[in-house]
Structure formats: C-alpha cells, structure tokens
Structure 1
Amino acid sequence: MLSAEQNELITRTNPGTKAGNLLRRYWQPAALVEELSSNRPIKPVKLLGEDLVIFKDGQGRYGLIARGCPHRGTDLAFGRLEADGLRCAFHGWKFDVNGQCLETPAEPEGSKLCANIRQKSYPVVEKSGILFAYMGPGEPPAFPNFDCFVAPDEYTFAFKGLIECNWLQSLEVGIDPAHTSWLHRFFEDEDPSKSYGKMFRDSTSDADMPMTKIMREFPRPRIEVEQTNYGLRLNTLRQISDKSMHVRTTNLVFPNAFMIPMSQEMTISQWHVPIDETTHYWYCIFTSFGSKVDKDEMRRQRLELYELPNYVPRKNKQNDYGFDPYEQAHETFTGMGADINIHDQWACESMGPIQDRTKEHLGQSDKAITAYRRMLRAAIEQASKGERPLMVLDSDKAPAMTGPVCVDGVGPAADWEGYTRNAHENRRKTKSWANGH
C-alpha cells in the first residue's frame, strides 16, 4: 500500500513532474514506422503530455517537433511536407527536423527573423519498426544490445495499442506473473500447430504440455525476484512433479518496459508509454529466434482487434470488452475472447484512470511490483538530484548489455537455474542471426 503522495509521485508524467522528468531520460516509443509509410508521412502525436508532430522529410529524415507553430500557434500537423522540412499552411514558415526555422516568406526581403526561431524538437531514431524519441536533457543514452534491437528486420514485427488509463497500471500487470493463471485461463487447449502469433498458445519447451494447461493446472507459482543491471529478472516456478519444474523467466527493463517469452520461437518486448496521465500506448517488438516473422499474418491478426489510424481496441469499455457470459462459463476465465491484450486492458482500465494504490492489499505474489516501486521511487529521486539513474547507458557500457534471458520450459526441479541458463544459451547458439550477440 502506498500513501497518496507516493502514488502521485510515481504516476504523474506530464511536463514538470518528477516521474515525467525521469521517463524523459530514456528513449521512448513515439510512433510505429508504418504510421509514416504513406505518401504523406506526418502524424500528430501526444507523448508525456506534450502535443507534437512527427514527420519524415523528403530526404528520409525523421523529425519530432512541437505541434503549434511558433508564429501564431496554428497546427503544424496540417503543414506541407517538403524536401528539407515542414512548412506551416498559415504563413509558410518552414522548419527542419531539428526545429530550426528555415524560412519566414511573408517577412520583408532580407529579414533575419527565421535565424532566431527554433521550434521545440526532439531527436528520433528507428529501431525494429518503432520510432523512438529522446525528450530529456543533454546527450541521449545509448541503446543496449538487446535481442529486439539487434535482430534483423525480417525477424521482428512491431505493433501498438491504446489503453485508457495511467501507464503504470499496465506496466505493473506486465510484471505480475501470478495473474496469468487466472486472467488468461483457457478451459480448453488449442492445437499448438495453430498457435502462430498468439500468446500462451504454444507448447512449453522441453515438454509436451501446452502453456495454457500449465497456467491452468498450476495456479500457485513460486516467484523469485532478482535485481539486475537492467532492472528485475523474474523467475516464476511451477512444480510439475517431484523431478520437473516449469520455469518462466521474464524481465522488467527499467523504467517502463518488460520482456517476456511468447512462444518457443518468439519473445515480446513491450513498452508502456504515457500519452498523458490517463491514457497510454503499449508498443511491442515481437522477435523471432526461429523462422522469419510473417509480418502480414501478424498484422492481419492484430488489425482484427485494433482499429486504425489510432490503434483503438475494437473491444473496449464502451462494449464491455466483448464480454460473453456463456464464454465465461465454458471457454475462458474472463469471457472476453482469446486475445490476452484485451484481458489486460480490462484489468488495467477497470482500476480507474489512475489507480488509488492507498486502498490495495499486496501479498507475496506481488513481490515484483513492490520491488519495482521501490526502484522507481529511488530513480525519481536520483533524477531529481541530477544523478544518473539505472539504464541511462553510456556508449561504452551499452554493447555489453545483451539478452535478456526469456525462457518458458520444463526442466529438472533440482537444477532449474542451470536449466534456465542452458535454455537461454542454446536458443542463442542455434539461431543464425543471434551468433555473436
């Protein structure tokens, strides 16, 4: 249980807030690359409470600048894209990807006005189908050599979805290993050969057992939480027999991402990024260690559930998340369909726009959440003092940060830790693109 002041501290992320200042010290997803793949690559975005516009100029450079023109405040999302920048449709002022005003054409010949005009701007880089922005002070941190960032493009797929509540609610669901046995419980198991692109529908590694069966039949796991140089490693252990243990290794990547196994071939890297303090997007990179990703099929599956252009879930609070009482009685624990993102969305949004953590009662199964909250509050304090918080990486340290370990399999109960290390190393050694990373 937190105090009201502590809850305010860790949830508020708009400009000028302490948690917002912390999140701005990291690269944050701002848009999907495919959102700027049309013949007019420009899109308004709201990120950490700031109204911005992201665009690609005629030279292929990405820019992220404040949405209101500094001349008279008109909307640059309706501007004209040109080879070297974005031109306001009101008076023709033009800005490059760094926010520098290039032209003020209505001014007298020889005017120097534009030389002194610079629109607020943030650097943007492309990583595995996501456009990341850095909104903090000084030089941006380096990216770690995590699998999702170093895998070739054909082995990754990126997507996003809107959730209408505070970002922290979703992040905390992602580091809660106990909920999967209940919220994502299926009463029948699918054929694993038909599980492509679906979470928890494959068989677990090194055992002929569907993940859904393990989650359903072993609902009281032992959870081990380990602090690492990137955040937290969570080992969730389910005793299958005297000799065998199901091990699921997931990760909290500080400050607002988690990385988890999706299937025997794929992992998920997911960020929860504030739009403002009561809405956010989840951004995902699906990374394959096996065959190349079937991007068309992955996109088709998800567009059945999310509506463009704003990636709004088709099942949402307005239609009770598709709740079906017959399904709840006979097929799934929630009665909200087979997509676990909808289950998580309901759980997060039903807590309210900003969860009141002064009323909760945490138990042993919530140990990762309590560990993360302590870590978050400590980092907020560090950032407030001008110190370097966890995972703000120098370029000399970032290359050595690899992985992290994501395992879902059954191994010997007497040496589950050794099994986890071996399973991780074997995956990396047997996948050609991962050699050397």
Structure 2
Amino acid sequence: MMSQEQNDHITRSGPGAPLGTLMRRYWQPAALADELQGERPVVPVQLLGEKFVLFRDEAGRYGLLDRDCPHRGADLAFGRLEHGGLRCAFHGWLFDVEGQCLETPAEPVGSKLCQNVRQRAYPVIERSGILFAYLGEGEPPAFPELDCFLAPDAYTFAFKGLFECNWLQALEVGIDPAHASFLHRFFEDEDTSASYGKQFRAASADSELPMTKILREYDRPLINVERTEYGMRLIALREIDDERTHVRVTNQVFPHAFVIPMSADMTITQWHVPLDDERCYWYAIFTSYTSPVDKARMREQRLELYELPEYRSRRNRTNDYGFDPHEQAHATYTGMGLDINVHDQWAVESMGPIQDRTREHLGQSDKAIVLYRRILREQIDKAVKGDVPLMVLDGRHAKGIQGPATMDGIGPSKGWETYWMEVDVRRRRGAPWMPAVPADVSSDAASLNAAE
C-alpha cells in the first residue's frame, strides 16, 4: 500500500507538480495528424493540465500556442487562419506558429505594441501520424529509433481514444500480463484468418492455437520483468505442456508508453497521455512488418467504437459499457462486447478518476507494476533535482534505442530464452523496410547461444 501523498506524487501532472516537471521533459502526443486535415485545421488541445490551441498555417507549418489570447484572454481555438497565422476573433490580433504577434489592427497606425507581444509557443513535430509537442524548457530531446518511428508511412497507422481516468491506471493495465486471461476471455474461438486489426484474436506464432484459447486455458502465467535502457521488458510464460510454452514479450518505454505484439505481423506502440489528472488519451501506432497497413480498414474498425471529434467510446460508463448479463454468462468474461479496448476502459475507469492506491493489495503477478512505480519515483526525483531522467536522449543515445523486440508465440519449454529472440529477428530480417535488430537482442542471443 502507499500513502495518499505518495499516490498524488505519481499521478498529478499539472504545472509545478513533481510528476508534471518530469513529463515536461518529453515529447507528448498532442493530436493525430488526421485531426488537422479538414477544412479548418485548428483544434483545442488539453495536455498535462494546460490548455492550448494547435493549428496548421497556410504554409503547412504546425503551431501550438497557449489558448488564451495575450490581449484580453479570449479563446484562440475559435480564431481565424489567415495572413500567415491564427487571428483572434475578438480584436484581430494575429500570431504565427512561433507565437510572434504579427498584427494588432485596432491599434493606431505606427504602433509598436505588436513588436513587444509574444504568445507562448511550443515545438510540434509529426511522427507516424501523431503530432508530438514539447512543453518543457530548453532543447527538446531526440526521438528514440523505435520501429514505429522508422517504418515507412504505408506500414503504420495511428489512432487514439479517450479514457476518463488518471493516466497511470490506464498505463498500468498495459504492463499487467495476468489480466488478459480474465478481462479479455472469450468462451469461443473465432476464425483466426479474420483477425486483422483485432488484438488477441490471431494465432500465436509457430502454431495454430488461437490466442483466445491460450489466454482462456492457461491463466497462471509466470512473469519475468527486467529493467532495460528504455524502461522495462516483460516476458509472460504460459506452459502448454512439457514440450511447449507460450511466450509473450512486451515492453514499457519510459515514461508512459508500451510496445506489445498485436499479431505475428504487427505491433502496437501506445502512449497514455494526461489531459489533466482525471482524463487521458491513449495514442497508438500500429506497425506492420510484412505488408502495408490497410489504413481504411483499420480506421473503419475503430470508428465503429469511437465517436469524433473527441474519440470517445460509444460504450462508456453512461451506458454501462454495453454490459449484457446473457453475454457474460455465455460469450465473454465481462459481458461488454468483443473489443478489448472497452474491457480495458471499464477496468481502469471503474477504479475512479484517480485510483486510491492506499487500499490496494499487490501480489506476485503485479511485479511489473511495482517495478514501474519504483522507476517512476526515481525519475521524478531526478527531474525535480534538475538531473537528466531516463529516456531524455541526445542524438547519439537516441540511435541506440531501437526496436524494442516483441513477440507472441509458442516455442520450446526448454530454450524459450533464445526462441523469442529468434522469432523477433526473423520477422525483422523479412520485413520490406528492413528494421534494425536491437543491439540488446543480438548481444543477448549471441551470449545465450555461446553458453549452450
């Protein structure tokens, strides 16, 4: 258990909060690039407890500004895009993507007021369909060379969804390998050939066993967790028999992302980004290692569940997440439909806006949660002291953070340690866009083979 003070320390991300100081050292997903593709590319953004306006000017440049006009505080999210910037609809003051005031039209001819006014502006950069913003001081860190950032555009797809709860409980469901055997349990298996775009519905690598069957019948995974240079690696082992073991390798990428296998051909890199202390967005990049992503199909699948412009789930607490007691008795463990995002949303939102961790009792299966919270506290302390936290990278170190390796397959009960690396390496070497083999995987595999 932890105290209320300790819980606040790792959940509250607003300006001046210790966690807020840490989070402002990283690039934060602020919007999908798709959100600025329409007739009026201006969207309000809330991030880490602050309000901004994000826009694309006539030259195609992205800008993120504080949302209140520095003249008299009117809402710039209702501004007009014209003459090289965003113009406030109240008095016509005009600002460019760097926050420079270009015009103050109501002032007398020759007024120099405009030259002395700047709106706070923040760097914005697009990566694989997500617009990332940097809210901190000084130079932004370099992006790590994760697969989702290096893959060509045709091999990635980005989406997001709203959770009405604190970011930390939303993240922690993604680093909890045990929950999938219950929360995502299906009583019948589907045709795995129809699993495209769906998590936990395909067959595991090197087998015909559907993932739904494995999760349902082998619900006591042995969980290994290790610290890495990017955060944590998690390995969940489900022994099928003396000869075969299901191996699932996932990763936590600090501060608030994880990388998991979606299928033998695709991974999901997902961030849980605080809007404020009681709401967050998950942002995901789906990365394919075989063929280009069918973006239209992936988007259509997700828009069946999520409503624009807020990307709010159609199944939510107002309609009990679509809960059906007959379905719970006969089809799914939750009775909340077939989409696992709904299951996750119910689980984390049901904890309350901010989970009360003073009342929880953790077990052996929560070892990844325990380690992550320890790392988070360590890095908060570093940020508050002005030291460089984990994954705040310069250009040289960013090139060394590759991958990370993931897999989901059935391999030998003796020798699984090298098996999962071989599966990941094989997928990479067969990919059309030639992703690098992460250095830690190639070195570990070499040392294990030498030991044998």
Partner of 1:53: 53
Q: Counterparts of 1:116 and 1:408 in 2: how far apart (Å)?
A: 57
Partner of 1:221: 221
Q: Counterparts of 2:424 and 2:261 in 1: how far apart (Å)?
A: 11
* Aligned-residue offset at 1:105: 1.3
- 2:44 partner letter: P
Cα deviation digits, residues 290-312 of structure 1 (max 9, x gap): 11111111011100100011101
State yes or no: 1:76 paired with 2:84: no
- Secondary structure of residue in 1 paired with 2:415: helix
Partner of 1:122: 122
* Aligned-residue offset at 1:435: 4.5
- Secondary structure of residue in 1 paired with 2:141: coil
- Secondary structure of residue in 1 paired with 2:178: helix
Partner of 1:196: 196
Q: Counterparts of 1:374 and 1:121 in 2: how far apart (Å)?
A: 33
- Runs (4 or more) in structure 1 with deviation over 3 Å come to none
Q: Is the 8 A contact 2:150 2:435 kept in 1?
A: no
Give the TM-score normalised by the residue count of structure 2: 0.96
User: What is the correspondence of 1:94-133 to structure 2 with a 5 Å cutoff?
Assistant: 94-133=94-133
- 2:347 partner letter: A
State yes or no: 1:324 paired with 2:358: no
Q: Counterparts of 2:321 and 2:19 in 1: how far apart (Å)?
A: 30
Partner of 2:442: none
Structure 1 residues 83 and 59 mapped into 2: Cα distance closer, same or farther (>3 Å)? farther
Q: Counterparts of 2:4 and 2:80 in 1: how far apart (Å)?
A: 46
Q: Is the 8 A contact 2:147 2:435 kept in 1?
A: no
* Aligned-residue offset at 1:436: 4.9
Partner of 1:209: 209
- 2:87 partner letter: R
Q: Counterparts of 2:432 and 2:260 in 1: how far apart (Å)?
A: 21
- 1:59 partner letter: A
Q: Is the 8 A contact 2:225 2:233 kept in 1?
A: yes
State yes or no: 1:66 paired with 2:63: no
Partner of 2:140: 140
Q: Is the 8 A contact 1:59 1:83 kept in 2?
A: no
- Secondary structure of residue in 2 paired with 1:173: helix
Partner of 1:290: 290
Partner of 2:379: 379
- 1:408 partner letter: D
Q: Matched residue pairs, number?
A: 437
* Aligned-residue offset at 1:434: 2.3
Q: Counterparts of 2:66 and 2:87 in 1: how far apart (Å)?
A: 13
- Secondary structure of residue in 2 paired with 1:249: strand
* Aligned-residue offset at 1:83: 4.6
Partner of 1:280: 280
Partner of 1:408: 408
Q: Is the 8 A contact 2:151 2:435 kept in 1?
A: no
Q: Counterparts of 1:19 and 1:364 in 2: how far apart (Å)?
A: 27
Structure 1 residues 436 and 354 mapped into 2: Cα distance closer, same or farther (>3 Å)? closer
Q: Is the 8 A contact 2:161 2:281 kept in 1?
A: yes
Cα deviation digits, residues 49-108 of structure 1 (max 9, x gap): 111100000000000101110001111111110252111111111111111111111111
Q: Counterparts of 1:159 and 1:32 in 2: how far apart (Å)?
A: 7
- 2:253 partner letter: V
Cα deviation digits, residues 361-418 of structure 1 (max 9, x gap): 0000000000000000000000000000000000111112110011000111111110
Structure 1 residues 435 and 169 mapped into 2: Cα distance closer, same or farther (>3 Å)? closer
Q: Counterparts of 1:314 and 1:258 in 2: how far apart (Å)?
A: 25
Partner of 1:311: 311
Percent same amino acid at aligned positions?
66
- 2:326 partner letter: Y
Q: Counterparts of 2:211 and 2:121 in 1: how far apart (Å)?
A: 45
User: What is the correspondence of 1:3-18 to structure 2 with a 5 Å cutoff?
Assistant: 3-18=3-18
Q: Counterparts of 1:258 and 1:83 in 2: how far apart (Å)?
A: 41
Structure 1 residues 87 and 160 mapped into 2: Cα distance closer, same or farther (>3 Å)? same
Partner of 1:30: 30
- Secondary structure of residue in 2 paired with 1:46: strand
Q: Counterparts of 2:81 and 2:395 in 1: how far apart (Å)?
A: 34
- 1:75 partner letter: D
Show structure 2 runs of 5+ residues with no match.
438-452
Partner of 2:43: 43
Q: Counterparts of 2:146 and 2:28 in 1: how far apart (Å)?
A: 15
Partner of 1:88: 88
